[in-house]
Chain A
Amino acid sequence: MNTLIYTACLGLFGLLAEIFNLRKYLIPIMVLGLAVIFSLNLQTWNHPETHFNGMLTDSNFSTAFSGLAIFIMLIILILAGDFYTSSDDEKHISDYMAILVFTLCGALMMFSYANMAMLFLGIETLSISLYVMAGSRRFEVKSNEAGFKYFLMGSFASAFLLFGIALIFGVTGTFSIDGIGVYMRAHADQLDPLFIVGMLLMIFAMLFKVSAAPFHFWAPDVYEGAPSLITALMSTLVKIAAFAAFYKLLSVCFVFALGKAEIILTVSCAATILIGNLVALTQDNFKRLLAYSGISHAGYMLLAIISLQGSTDSALFLYSTGYAVASLAAFAIAITVFKATGTESISGFNGLGKKNPMLAAGLSMAMLSLAGIPPFAGFFGKYFIFSEAMRNGYQNLVFLAIISSIIGVFYYMKVIVAMYSKQANEFEVKPTFSYQLVIIVCIVLSIFIGIFPGLFTKLL
């Protein structure tokens, strides 16, 4: 919870920085600050406590995910340095930084909430700042469109969330998730229909936030329209935050009521996996491709949600980490290539293997990791989630997931093939130092996790 406060302060500092015009040093300071916060966050490991009389709780769950979130934001900030280079961006750099950090605040709340209010606030903080960031390229219609679509649908969905919260409050008379949990345990056998409806409405809202089919429509458009960096943020931090919150919500409040939502979750999971993979097959725009692949990943993560009776949080965490590092590496490379070639379509990668082997190798590894091929982290994430699902008897879902991950391999390979066997285009691709750093760190992490996945499986 200190983490949260410090992060908020850091955000405020970002705003003030404009006044003391520290623009030049802003990013380094921010990065440094986040690094410090990251280490502080580790302090709370194995020190579960509750703050603001039951509004927030620190638990290993929240600590772990907070750590991950902070790490992602750290990477994003590092990337931001060389991403916001145009004069217009220069002007607003401090705002951007601040808003990004506030996004992190929202995420942190979503990890450590103990009360529906905090969940709501967290989600909104996260979303609102993202609406802004998604639309931050004011003069690009695409960006506007992305921001506005996201905004409209996001607020629409949060209305459902609120209605659900209200109904549950009406039945249980409390907003504290533990209180709700108690009620749910007590009345597990005959639950008030209002409670169930409330639960289902909340589940719908959360499914929207994690961009699971059939609530996934916003994702591709927003991902494509938003500035690439923000897309990276959305496809990693936001997704992970939403899943963590979703997981916590269901595992604490609704475990025994889930039988009433089984079909919805199962159908949604299957649909998400299939739609994500199938549509990604036909994409030419790299960001859109990653958007759809992100949808399919959401499907795999839903497997963990579905089978959470078996406490699959560590599997979920491992998957999130693997997914995050891989996508960050992919985006870091993609952004470089976009900058160089000026196109966001896969053809931009043609012949990268000749022009810049290291970059191509990095992207290949990222892609293989996303495709879930050993020895990269992505594979282990998949493996553990599948294994958990299998243990909880969802063989058919697992089978479906495995089959469709073959489809997944196909479109990830499309990029690799483009890099290695297509005719090279003339643009010179040269990543800046910070990008090289990020790429190397992420790839190394991805392999490291691949070699020692054991560190994560017992973590939570």
Chain B
Amino acid sequence: MTQTIIQTSNLYLPTILIPLLPLLGFFINALFGKKLGHTSGWIATAVLFGAFACSLFLFLNLPAGGSETITISNWFYFKNIFVPFAFLIDPLSITMLLVITGIGSLIHLYSLGYMHHDEGFSRFFSYLNLFIFFMLLLVMGNNYLIMFIGWEGVGLCSYLLIGFWFKNQAFNDAAKKAFIMNRIGDLGFIIGMFMMLFYFNSLNFDTVNIGALKLGMGNMTIIYITLFLFVGAMGKSAQLPLYTWLPDAMAGPTPVSALIHAATMVTAGIYMIARSNVLFSLAPHTLDVILIVGTATSLFAAVVGLKQNDIKKVLAYSTVSQLGLMFAALGMGAYESGMFHVVTHAFFKALLFLGAGSVIHAMGGEQDMRNMGGLGKYIKITFATFLIGTVAISGIPPFAGFFSKDEILATAFEHNKVIWGLLSFSSMLTAFYMFRLVYLTFSSSFRGTDEVKHHIHESPATMTMPLIILATCSIIAGFIGLPTILSHTHLFKNYLASVFAQSKLIMPAGHEISHSMEWILVGTAVTLALVSIAFAYQKYVMQKHVPAADEKLKGISKVVANKFYVDEIYNTVFVKPIMLLSDLFLVVVDKLIVDLLVHAIAFITNQIGRALRLLQTGHVGFYMFAMVISMIILLAVQIFVVI
């Protein structure tokens, strides 16, 4: 009883090629990497460009608003539940495909330069390709289980890549932490899937949606399902309280941080929620939860970001904050806005990370901003591109970040003023710490040692090229989603319209806010950003303030610099008790109680044996006496009981 669908679609070939190419690249690198030397990296990059081409092909050939299901095989089944190995091609997945393969290939290109001297060169590229493969599965699957494969697969790859330099146990710890945190989320995801299986007998997106619509608005089941799914999203997309792994994940090579922990993997959570928008729209309470969590995360991370001195850590926290922003958008039911920000964010955050990578490359591995400064004049391209990225993230028009952010803020304003205030505040903080970063790194004079200073040099073309491309994207990407005040056709919205059509029916958007109002919002947002930039300029350029060494910190700033001691708290609240419990179980329960019982039985039997043994006195007289006595007793018993 197998269920097979004969595929006769012109999209079939490119669709299966997209994941297959990176997989192929992985195998080539894994098996022959050592022999191929540096060509292996080029192969890896090439296959990715191929995948990008295929995605473009899909983008061009998929009829607007259409969707295709490409079934490759029937993976497994039980009872009446079939889990096909099938891909769903629709605007949403194509958007993600383009982002992943596009930015992915750029980052591969960049890595060619960045990892050039590393002895694990081919291993690195095999991991990267594997990651891309899983990421593609994640976004292409037409049911939750295929998505889950990708979901766990990317987790694995991030584990492998964070711990890429495995000689350093600290890195390994970070990797392990990331994997386990993700697993916590995955448990939620799995439970969510079980509930879907239980109530809808299927995991295919469309079937689930139909079932959910039958159950109707605000049904408890759906609320539970969505909550569990959201737990999964929290783990993957580093939301409170499961965000702590992301900053540590910076242990990995910088391209990895750019690809996995900024552009693609961490946005999987947003993608998943957008993908199951129908479910979430039917569960308003869940949406509120998401909104609150998202806002809180965005604010929290922004605050922590203020006091970080490791260049990558700052970017990491800004990523967390931006993700929070996206979740807030989803929480308000503005899925397109969320996705829109995913896209733009992918561009400028990747750009920023790669730029940071180039800086670190120039500084010979140094990451502490307190030892940098004045790099602007040594590495011009990096500086220029990095600046563009920063401007984009700070939400200055006409750069990409501005449009997506503004859209979200606008929705927030009409949805709930408080949320709007908080989000605006966090984006203001973002602008501040990003420019703090820029100033500390590039402006004023160099604070590092001399031999480092001599070493400083601009990165090779393989690294700068991607920077330039990404920079251009960060400038223009915003125009695919012009706000209504500028144009009446929101390209991005229209493109995705078909995906979110149903949820639009379920929860009609609130009244469009007036143009004048929107102008005011835009104005405030921009002014806030400019103000904070100015403040940062005043603090770090005018009076050349340099953050103090960690031990000098005191009071609130110390708490912030130490990320509110969240890691320590988790350690005492979860990790220590479990270890304690483990010892308890082993020593007390296992050895003391259970095993002792077992041995006690043996011991007692033995003792009885010893006692009985003494009956055998060796005196024949006693024997005969015992015989007679027992005869009499037995006779008596027999007679009085029976007869």
State the A residues within 8 Å of B (CB).
148-149, 152-153, 156-157, 160, 193, 196, 200, 204, 208, 214-215, 217-218, 220-221, 259-264, 267-268, 275, 278-282, 407, 410
- Of residues 390 through 428 on chain B, the ones whose CB sits less than 8 Å from some CB of chain A are none
Of the residues A214, A217, A260, A280, contact of B643 by C-beta under 8 Å: A260
Minimum distance in angstroms from A278 CB to a CB of chain B: 4
Please, which residue of chain A has its CB at the minimum distance from the CB of B617?
A: A217
Q: Is the CB of A208 within 8 A of B624?
A: no
Q: Is the CB of B635 within 8 A of A200?
A: yes
Q: Is the CB of B605 within 8 A of A260?
A: no
- Of residues 603 through 633 on chain B, the ones whose CB sits less than 8 Å from some CB of chain A are 605-606, 608-610, 612-613, 615-616, 618, 620, 622-624, 626-627, 630-631
Of the residues A148, A263, A275, contact of B638 by C-beta under 8 Å: A263
Q: Is the CB of B616 within 8 A of A200?
A: no
Please, which residue of chain B has its CB at the minimum distance from the CB of A193?
A: B643
Q: Is the CB of B605 within 8 A of A259?
A: no
Q: Is the CB of B638 within 8 A of A217?
A: no
Grouping DSSP codes into helix (H, G, I), strand (E, B) and loop, the B interface class, with mixed when no group exceeds half, is helix
Inter-chain contacts of B637 with A (CB < 8 A)? 263-264, 267
In the complex, besides A148-B620, A153-B624, A279-B613, 19 extra interface pairs with C-beta distance below 8 angstroms are: A149-B623, A152-B620, A160-B631, A193-B643, A200-B635, A200-B638, A204-B634, A215-B630, A217-B615, A217-B616, A217-B626, A217-B627, A221-B618, A259-B642, A261-B638, A263-B634, A263-B642, A278-B609, A282-B609
Docked pose: A262 CA to B620 CA in angstroms: 28
In the complex, whether B641 has a CB less than 8 A from a CB of chain A is yes
Please, which residue of chain A has its CB at the minimum distance from the CB of B625?
A: A217
Query: Known interface pairs A217-B616, A220-B616. Does A260 touch B623 (Cβ–Cβ under 8 Å)?
Result: no
Docked pose: A217 CA to B642 CA in angstroms: 28
Q: Is the CB of A221 within 8 A of B616?
A: yes
Docked pose: A28 CA to B302 CA in angstroms: 104
Q: Is the CB of A267 within 8 A of B634?
A: yes
Of the residues B616, B618, B642, contact of A262 by C-beta under 8 Å: B642
Docked pose: A148 CA to B619 CA in angstroms: 12
Inter-chain contacts of A148 with B (CB < 8 A)? 620
Please, which residue of chain A has its CB at the minimum distance from the CB of B643?
A: A260
Of the residues B602, B613, B626, B635, contact of A214 by C-beta under 8 Å: B626
Please, which residue of chain A has its CB at the minimum distance from the CB of B641?
A: A263
Inter-chain contacts of A218 with B (CB < 8 A)? 623
Q: Is the CB of B638 within 8 A of A149?
A: no
Please, which residue of chain A has its CB at the minimum distance from the CB of B631?
A: A204
Q: Is the CB of A153 within 8 A of B620?
A: yes
Docked pose: A149 CA to B616 CA in angstroms: 13
Please, which residue of chain B has its CB at the minimum distance from the CB of A276?
A: B612
20 interchain pairs, CB-CB under 8 A: A149-B623, A152-B620, A153-B624, A153-B627, A196-B643, A204-B634, A208-B627, A214-B626, A214-B627, A215-B627, A217-B622, A261-B638, A263-B634, A264-B634, A264-B637, A267-B634, A267-B637, A278-B605, A278-B612, A407-B605
Minimum distance in angstroms from B572 CB to a CB of chain A: 47
Docked pose: A160 CA to B637 CA in angstroms: 19
Docked pose: A410 CA to B609 CA in angstroms: 13
Docked pose: A193 CA to B635 CA in angstroms: 12
Minimum distance in angstroms from B643 CB to a CB of chain A: 7
Q: Is the CB of A278 within 8 A of B642?
A: no
Docked pose: A204 CA to B633 CA in angstroms: 12
Docked pose: A218 CA to B626 CA in angstroms: 11
Please, which residue of chain A has its CB at the minimum distance from the CB of B621?
A: A152
Minimum distance in angstroms from B501 CB to a CB of chain A: 70
Please, which residue of chain B has its CB at the minimum distance from the CB of A283?
A: B613
Minimum distance in angstroms from A284 CB to a CB of chain B: 11
Please, which residue of chain A has its CB at the minimum distance from the CB of B611?
A: A278
Q: Is the CB of A279 within 8 A of B635?
A: no
Inter-chain contacts of B643 with A (CB < 8 A)? 193, 196, 260
Docked pose: A275 CA to B608 CA in angstroms: 9
Please, which residue of chain A has its CB at the minimum distance from the CB of B608?
A: A278
Please, which residue of chain B has its CB at the minimum distance from the CB of A278?
A: B609
Docked pose: A179 CA to B624 CA in angstroms: 33
Q: Is the CB of A153 within 8 A of B623?
A: yes
Docked pose: A220 CA to B618 CA in angstroms: 9
Docked pose: A278 CA to B627 CA in angstroms: 20
Docked pose: A152 CA to B593 CA in angstroms: 51
Q: Is the CB of B616 within 8 A of A214?
A: no
Query: Known interface pairs A200-B638, A260-B643, A263-B637. Does A156 touch B624 (Cβ–Cβ under 8 Å)?
Result: yes
Docked pose: A160 CA to B618 CA in angstroms: 22
Inter-chain contacts of B616 with A (CB < 8 A)? 217, 220-221, 279
Query: Known interface pairs A278-B608, A281-B609, A282-B613. Does A152 touch B624 (Cβ–Cβ under 8 Å)?
Result: yes
Q: Is the CB of A279 within 8 A of B634?
A: no
Q: Is the CB of A214 within 8 A of B624?
A: no
Query: Known interface pairs A152-B624, A217-B626, A281-B606. Does A275 touch B612 (Cβ–Cβ under 8 Å)?
Result: yes
Docked pose: A204 CA to B620 CA in angstroms: 18
Closest 4 CB pairs of A and B: A217-B623, A214-B630, A281-B609, A278-B609
Docked pose: A280 CA to B642 CA in angstroms: 33
Please, which residue of chain B has its CB at the minimum distance from the CB of A215?
A: B627
Minimum distance in angstroms from A82 CB to a CB of chain B: 31
Minimum distance in angstroms from B626 CB to a CB of chain A: 6
Inter-chain contacts of A153 with B (CB < 8 A)? 620, 623-624, 627
Residue interface bits B333-364, CB-to-A below 8 A is 1, else 0: 00000000000000000000000000000000
Minimum distance in angstroms from B597 CB to a CB of chain A: 16
Docked pose: A382 CA to B612 CA in angstroms: 25
Docked pose: A384 CA to B606 CA in angstroms: 29
Minimum distance in angstroms from B628 CB to a CB of chain A: 9
Of the residues B609, B626, B630, B638, contact of A279 by C-beta under 8 Å: B609
Inter-chain contacts of B634 with A (CB < 8 A)? 204, 263-264, 267-268
Minimum distance in angstroms from B633 CB to a CB of chain A: 9
Docked pose: A196 CA to B639 CA in angstroms: 10
Minimum distance in angstroms from B611 CB to a CB of chain A: 9
Docked pose: A214 CA to B635 CA in angstroms: 13
Inter-chain contacts of B608 with A (CB < 8 A)? 278
Interface centre among A217, A267, A279, A280 (most CB of B within 10 A): A217
Inter-chain contacts of A259 with B (CB < 8 A)? 642
Minimum distance in angstroms from A414 CB to a CB of chain B: 12
Inter-chain contacts of A204 with B (CB < 8 A)? 631, 634
Docked pose: A148 CA to B618 CA in angstroms: 12
Docked pose: A280 CA to B473 CA in angstroms: 88
Please, which residue of chain A has its CB at the minimum distance from the CB of B602?
A: A410
Inter-chain contacts of A261 with B (CB < 8 A)? 638
Docked pose: A153 CA to B635 CA in angstroms: 20
Minimum distance in angstroms from A104 CB to a CB of chain B: 27
Docked pose: A407 CA to B601 CA in angstroms: 11
Inter-chain contacts of A152 with B (CB < 8 A)? 620, 624
Inter-chain contacts of A280 with B (CB < 8 A)? 609
Minimum distance in angstroms from B605 CB to a CB of chain A: 6
Inter-chain contacts of B626 with A (CB < 8 A)? 214, 217
Minimum distance in angstroms from A426 CB to a CB of chain B: 31
Minimum distance in angstroms from B81 CB to a CB of chain A: 43
Docked pose: A189 CA to B641 CA in angstroms: 17
Inter-chain contacts of B612 with A (CB < 8 A)? 275, 278-279
Minimum distance in angstroms from A332 CB to a CB of chain B: 27
Inter-chain contacts of A407 with B (CB < 8 A)? 605
Docked pose: A208 CA to B627 CA in angstroms: 9
Please, which residue of chain A has its CB at the minimum distance from the CB of B620?
A: A149
Docked pose: A281 CA to B630 CA in angstroms: 24
Docked pose: A153 CA to B622 CA in angstroms: 11
Q: Is the CB of B606 within 8 A of A282?
A: yes
Residue interface bits B524-545, CB-to-A below 8 A is 1, else 0: 0000000000000000000000
Inter-chain contacts of B613 with A (CB < 8 A)? 279, 282
Minimum distance in angstroms from A198 CB to a CB of chain B: 12
Inter-chain contacts of A160 with B (CB < 8 A)? 631
Minimum distance in angstroms from B122 CB to a CB of chain A: 51
Inter-chain contacts of A208 with B (CB < 8 A)? 627
Minimum distance in angstroms from B451 CB to a CB of chain A: 66
Minimum distance in angstroms from A147 CB to a CB of chain B: 12
Docked pose: A220 CA to B610 CA in angstroms: 15
